[in-house]
Amino acid sequence: MSEPGRILIVDDDAAIREALSGILEFEGFVVETAADGAAALARLRRPPAPALVVVDLVMPVMSGWDLCRELSRDAALAALPVVVVSASDRLDQPLPLPHLEVLRKPFRFDRLLASARLHCR
C-alpha cells in the first residue's frame, strides 16, 4: 500500500535530487531520495511505499532501465506510478511498466508537479 504524498526521487546527480526534493517538499510532498536503482529498489521493498517514483534512466550501479524492469517483475511494486526524467536519446524504446510517464530533460517543472498531484493525493 502506498502512502499518499510520498515521492521517491532516483537520480545519480545530487544537485538534481536536491532541487527536485526542495521544490516538491515546498509543495507539501514528503520526499525521499536514492542515488541509483539498487538503493531505490532496496527502499521500495520496505514500507511504506511511495505514491510516485521519479527516476532517471542513466545511473551507475543499477540504471533506471534496470530498476523499471525489476519493478515490473515484482507484483507488489509493478503498479507503482513512475515518472522517468531523462536526457537519454533512448526514450523511444519501450519501458516495461504500465503506469509510466516520460519527461525529457530539461523539462517544465509544472509537468512533474501535475503528475505528483495526480498520483499523490
In tens, the pLDDT along 64-113 reads 888 988 998 999 998 899 998 877 666 555 666 666 788 887 888 899 99
pLDDT of residue 65: 85
The CATH number of the domain covering residues in 2-120: 3.40.50.2300
DSSP, collapsed to helix, strand or coil, labels residue 55 as strand
Indicate yes or no: pTM above 0.85. yes
Is pLDDT above 90 for 45?
yes
Q: How far apart are CA 24 and CA 109, in angstroms?
A: 10
pLDDT digits (tens, 9 = 90+) for 12-39: 999 999 999 999 999 999 999 999 999 9
Cβ atoms of 82 and 55 within 8 Å: the answer is yes
